[in-house]
Structure formats: structure tokens, C-alpha cells
Amino acid sequence: MNGHEGASYTLIRDLPAGDRPRERLRDFGAHALSNAELLAILLRTGSSKESALAQATRILARFEGLPGLAHAAFAELCAEKGLGEAKASQVKAALELGIRVASSSPDQRPAVASPEDIANLVLAEMSLLEQEHVRVMLVDTRNRVMGIHEAYRGSVHTTAVRIAELLREPVRANAAAMVLVHNHPSGDATPSADDIRMTKALFDAAALMGIDLLDHVVVGGGRFVSMHRLGLGFPRSTSDG
């Protein structure tokens, strides 16, 4: 950072003034800071062996970014080295405030009118994940994204994925529609037979709840496949055109 990459700093106050997160926020604005720097400001202090910035970087790597951190259980955060209840509370409170700001500004929410719009929101991050993740994108009546929630992490197959779990957040948020997104760590985005079966089961169950399943997008190797566009797991009448 600014020519100091080779140096080792235990405390943020030992960093050159131009590299300290709080000073950088003051001088350049919060948008100029990385996720790790913003998290370091929340943590305030590190430990005798690592700075708050190093701690923040480690925690983000451990939970695979902000989405994973947002969905982590409070107990998981408390168990993380160097956190504890006070810091875990600060992190969860800040993340919840961000979620509430996004949900209270509907005109600023991104709209999804095509598989490309969906992929633009998830492709870069989900292509890098080393495990399978299943996420549910909530959509309102104007096709604006209300939020993206992680439903599963790990091996994904029809015996493991509970359809009721995929519908939990859409029902709770009273979403008009939803999109299922998941990644193939192998790098091959081709939908599997299990993907097709899961899509069909979810489409039918969502319809009973009055929720439209708009698409199931599979990500892998920096590319994506729209199962709706291919008519995989969707009734033919909803995938034509």
C-alpha cells in the first residue's frame, strides 16, 4: 500500500497516516475504502499479533466476502479469533443497517429484465467461489431486486436442498418473484440433472405460494447459463421466446 507492502504493522496507528482507514475515509470518502478497510474501522482494534486491518482481511476471507459475513450466525462471528460479542454485534449491526438502507431506497435497486442483468449482479463473485453456493434473489412487482440471500453452501443435490428453505425469504419478504442462482466450482456452468429437478420442484412450489420463479442461473468459469432461456425445469410456455 503506497510503497509499504513489505512492511509489517501490528497496529493501525503504526501505519503511515495516508494508509490508515479512518484517515483515508475522512480525506477521500467511504467509497474510496476497500471492504477490509471499512470492516477494520468497525473493529477498531486488533490484537497483539495482528492489526484491525489484518483481522478484517482474514475474517472476510474466512466468510468469503460480505455476503457470507452478512449471513454468518452471531455465534459463528463470536467464535472467530479476536472478535467476541462486542465486535460481532458491531459488525452485524452495521451490515443490517446497510441492508435496511438498500431496502428503503427502492428506486435505487437494480432491475433484472434479462438473464444478463441477473448475471451482472453475481457473476464476478460467484465464479470465484470454491464451494457450491445457492442464493435466492428476491424481486418486486417492478422487477427490482429486493435482496439476495444465501440458502445453501456445500454440495448441492436434490436430496440436500429443501424447497421450503429456498422459499423462506421470498415468503417472509412478500416478494412477487424470485430468481435462483448457484455456482459450479468445476467451472462448467452446464446445468445438471439435479439442477433441472430442483428447478421444476421450486417452480411448482413457488407457484402455489403466488411467487413467480423468473429464472435459475448457473454460474461457472466466468460464464453463466439461464435455465429459463433453455427451458430446463420450466414449463415450455414460460420459456418460449
Residue 67 to residues 20, 60, 90, 142, 212: CA-CA distances in angstroms? 25, 10, 16, 24, 24
Q: What is the pLDDT of residue 8?
A: 42
Q: Which residues of the chain fall short of a pLDDT of 50?
A: 1-10, 158-159
Q: What is the pLDDT of residue 221?
A: 87
Q: What is the pLDDT of residue 213?
A: 98
The total number of residues written for the chain in this structure: 241
DSSP string, 163-205: HHHHHHHHHHTT-SEEEEEEE-TTS--PPPHHHHHHHHHHHHH
For residue range 178-202, list pLDDT tens digits in order: 999 999 999 999 999 999 999 999 9
Residue 87 to residues 43, 52, 56, 197: CA-CA distances in angstroms? 6, 11, 11, 42
Q: What is the pLDDT of residue 195?
A: 92
Of 219, 206, 221, the C-alpha closest to 233 is 206
- Name 222's Cβ contacts closer than 8 Å, sequence gap at least 6: 123, 127
The phi and psi torsions of 84 (rounded to 5 degrees) equal 90, 175
Q: How many CB atoms sit inside 10 A of residue 221's CB?
A: 13
CA distance 25 to 39: 12
CA distance 29 to 3: 21
Q: What is the pLDDT of residue 105?
A: 54
Q: What is the pLDDT of residue 196?
A: 94
- Give 110's DSSP letter: P
Tell the residue number behind the cell numbers 452485524, with chain if given: 92
